[in-house]
Amino acid sequence: MIKAIIIDDERLARNELKKLLMEFPEIEVVAEAANAGEGIEKIENINPDLVFLDIQMPGKTGFDMLSELDRTPNVIFTTAYDEYALKAFEVNALDYLLKPVEPKRLADAIQKLHLQEDREQGPINPVNVNRSVLSENDQVFVKDGERCWFVRLADIRLFESVGNYAKVYFGPNKPLILKSLNALEERLDEKTFFRANRKHIVNLRLIDKIEPYFNGGLLLELKGGEKIEVSRRQTVKFKEMMSL
Amino acid sequence: MVKKISYYWLCQFVGWSAFILAYIFFYLTLRTSEVEDFYKVLFLEAAIGFLVTHLMRYFILRYKYVEKPVNEQVFYILSISIVFAMIYASAATMAEHYLEFGRERDLSLFNKIMRASMGSFTFILIWNLIYFAYHYIVRTRQAQFDKIRLEALVKELELKTIKSHINPHFIFNALNSIRALIDENPNRARTAITELSNILRSSMQSDKLETVPFERELSIVKDYLALEYIRFEERLRIEYEIDEDTLDQPVPPMMLQTLVENAIKHGIGKQVRGGVVKVISGFRDDYHELIVLNSGTLNGINRDGFGLFSTRNRLQLLFGEKAKFEIRQVESGLVEARISIPVELKKGVYDQSHYY
């Protein structure tokens, strides 16, 4: 069973989608929200597997809402016609449905979800015992100007502190997100993500080389070529973890 | 303007200098005998000619002769030339008489003036022909320029018609609501389809018409808001305040509709709790005023957008410089868009002559 939430500011649009989803018994619509604020609340409480999300909503857009979430569920965007959103979908290869939704397109989108589920062998979002810690398989939504991504934490090499923001390194991209490094550290799994120094959190699985450095510290070279110094205090901890 | 004034002065100086030089040239090459006070008389006549033609220009500008129809202009050119040739001749002859220049023959003053008038008529006429011809060319060029500008704007509007008049986002949202209504409220769904058809039809016809009676535009706006009400439900409050006498007034098609659409898109659509859209039509002073009030905040970013620019431009091309369009924050949380159309001018893109 896939738990789904519909977020759209129009009651009729939500009803119409619910009606269409009746054709898919594996999907259960467990909640609805009429704006981004309600949406965040319901996602955090219910922890759905799937969200149908309208882009243009009063207050905050669907994109803005997603960037505020620590962990994003699978998202299928819905929009009537919005040039800006359409461009974002195409540029970023996001899954979207155009309203009025064509049943065939909806079936395709749901099919894609099942394929993804099979590939990951298991439920889409494995129910974590401790949901306050983000696992490697969790994804976050990152938006940087016009570009946006759903990024699996496993693909992130490095978080770098830049004032109140954090720069997120994955693939060739390094967009900024509005989160402090300390807040991130609390939520990240410490088995994977390691606070190397005041300014950096590195993904231990994406380290390429480890070299000794001044003052008994270490220099880590990541898969993307970034060189990060491990402070002396953290070096002790790092060595302990790696010796396990 | 500065450039035109300087052209005038330049022509005056060059013209009268040429006059002086030509006389001196002919005097030196062709004279048969020495003329008494020749140089004094020549410079005096040139100076008086300069002053008289300048006075003449003042009259031409004062009574706007250059703006009259071309066939009337012929008559004015001739009459003005005759009158000013006589003024010029009188002034020159009397001045020479009192300064006692070149007393050659003992003719009566009247006789002298009449003879001088004949000669100066040619100069004055040439002066006028040049002056009127120049203005004729400038005005024709301006008219052509305006026409090209208008055509370009019409083209641009035609291209953007569907995008700027009926937002596709609105069409698809409306269709989506209607689909949901088919089960929930079939009667409302049927009316909604009629409303949507009306809007689509008039948006397709709108680029063919310059103006439509306000009544027609209002019915489109009502259909439009009724459809938006289906989407927004209790989040949208709609109010009308329509002076019945304004229903016959000509308005540009789809203009009020665009304002209402923006009121929804930038106003109501952005408020979680929604708000009010109020449409007002009435007369104030000599204007037909169309006002759209909506809950919301003007963010300033879209102030110079294509929509506002083209609205203003279209109004001024249709109704002249007096037509106005403004958008402003009237109080916190309330935005007002106001179109003012001068009432006495009913129509006519090319009927702008009164404004020159």
pLDDT tens for A92-123 read 667 889 999 999 999 999 998 888 777 665 44
Judge if B173 and B137 occupy the same domain. no
Q: Which residues of chain A have pLDDT under 70?
A: 91-93, 119-131, 244
- pLDDT per residue as tens digits for the range B121-137: 888 898 889 888 988 88
Judge if A8 and A115 occupy the same domain. yes
In the predicted model, is pLDDT for residue B354 greater than 50?
no
Q: Give the pLDDT mean for B149-159.
A: 71
What pLDDT, on a 0 to 100 scale, did the predictor assign at position B344? 67
Selected residue of B163, B173, B178, B297 to mutate for chain A interface (largest A Cβ count, 10 A): B173
Q: Is the dihedral of CA B56, B57, B59, B64 positive or negative?
A: positive
Contact B272 A56 (CB under 8 A): no
Judge if B38 and B108 occupy the same domain. yes
Contacts of B109 (CB under 8 A, 6+ apart): B93, B94, B97
**A204 assigned to some structural domain:** yes
What pLDDT, on a 0 to 100 scale, did the predictor assign at position B219? 95
> Could you tell me the strand order of the sheet in which A156-162 lies?
A176-177, A165-170, A156-162, A200-203, A193-195
Contact B180 A15 (CB under 8 A): yes
Question: Residue B52 corresponds to which tokens in the numbers above?
Answer: 């008289």
Judge if B170 and B207 occupy the same domain. yes
- DSSP-based three-state secondary structure for A120: coil
Task: Please give the residue of chain B at the shortest CA–CA distance from A34.
Answer: B272
Angle formed at CA B91 by CA B90 and CA B95, multiple of 5 degrees: 115
In the predicted model, is pLDDT for residue B353 greater than 70?
no
CB of A82 less than 8 A from some CB of B: yes
Task: Fill in the amino acid letter for B217.
Answer: E
What pLDDT, on a 0 to 100 scale, did the predictor assign at position A17? 95
Judge if A12 and A91 occupy the same domain. yes
Contact A58 B231 (CB under 8 A): no
Residue ending a domain, choose from B119, B147, B175: B147
- pLDDT per residue as tens digits for the range B199-258: 888 877 766 677 889 999 999 999 999 999 999 999 999 999 999 999 999 998 888 998
A80 → closest Cβ in B172, B233, B271? B172
What pLDDT, on a 0 to 100 scale, did the predictor assign at position A114? 84
What pLDDT, on a 0 to 100 scale, did the predictor assign at position B349? 44
What pLDDT, on a 0 to 100 scale, did the predictor assign at position A33? 96
What pLDDT, on a 0 to 100 scale, did the predictor assign at position A195? 93
B169 → closest Cβ in A11, A12, A80? A80
Judge if A113 and A8 occupy the same domain. yes
State the Cα–Cα distance between residues B312 and B294, nearest whole angstrom: 20
**Could you tell me the residue range of the domain that residue A178 belongs to?**
155-243
Separation of first and last alpha carbons in chain B:
13
DSSP B298-330: --SGGGGSHHHHHHHHHHHHHH-TT-EEEEEEE
Place of tokens 């509709």: B257
Contact A99 B183 (CB under 8 A): no
Contact B270 A100 (CB under 8 A): no
What pLDDT, on a 0 to 100 scale, did the predictor assign at position B103? 58
Residue A231: name the closest of A207, A210, A214 by CA.
A214
* CATH assignment at residue A112: 3.40.50.2300
Judge if A34 and A97 occupy the same domain. yes
**B54 assigned to some structural domain:** yes
**Range with top average pLDDT, A54-58, B36-40, B101-105, B208-212:** A54-58
What pLDDT, on a 0 to 100 scale, did the predictor assign at position B350? 44
Judge if B266 and B305 occupy the same domain. yes
The confidence band for B279, taking pLDDT boundaries of 50, 70 and 90, is very high
DSSP B5-23: HHHHHHHHHHHHHHHHHHH
Judge if A114 and A9 occupy the same domain. yes
**B353 assigned to some structural domain:** no
In the predicted model, is pLDDT for residue B328 greater than 70?
yes
**Could you tell me the residue range of the domain that residue B314 belongs to?**
166-348
Contact A98 B172 (CB under 8 A): yes
DSSP A6-52: EE-S-HHHHHHHHHHHTT-TTEEEEEEESSHHHHHHHHHHH--SEEE
State the Cα–Cα distance between residues B121 and B115, nearest whole angstrom: 10
Q: Is B134 in contact with B68 (CB distance < 8 Å)?
A: no
CA–CA min distance A36, chain B (Å):
9
Contact A100 B176 (CB under 8 A): yes
Judge if A77 and A159 occupy the same domain. no
Separation of first and last alpha carbons in chain A:
38
B230 → closest Cβ in A12, A80, A101? A12
Q: Is the pLDDT higher at B148 or at A50?
A: A50
A-chain residues near B180 (CB < 8 A): 12-13, 15-16, 19
Contact A12 B272 (CB under 8 A): no
Q: What's the total number of domains in chain B?
A: 2
Whole-number percent of chain B with pLDDT over 70? 87
Q: What is the CA radius of gyration of chain A?
A: 20
Judge if B200 and B104 occupy the same domain. no
Contacts of A181 (CB under 8 A, 6+ apart): A159, A161, A166, A195, A199, A200, A201
CB of B172 less than 8 A from some CB of A: yes
Whole-number percent of chain B with pLDDT over 90? 30
Report if pTM > 0.90. no
Judge if B75 and B210 occupy the same domain. no
**A146 assigned to some structural domain:** no
Average pLDDT value over all residues in chain B = 84
Task: Please give the residue of chain B at the shortest CA–CA distance from A56.
Answer: B269
Judge if B172 and B208 occupy the same domain. yes
Q: What's the total number of domains in chain A?
A: 2
Contact B172 A81 (CB under 8 A): yes
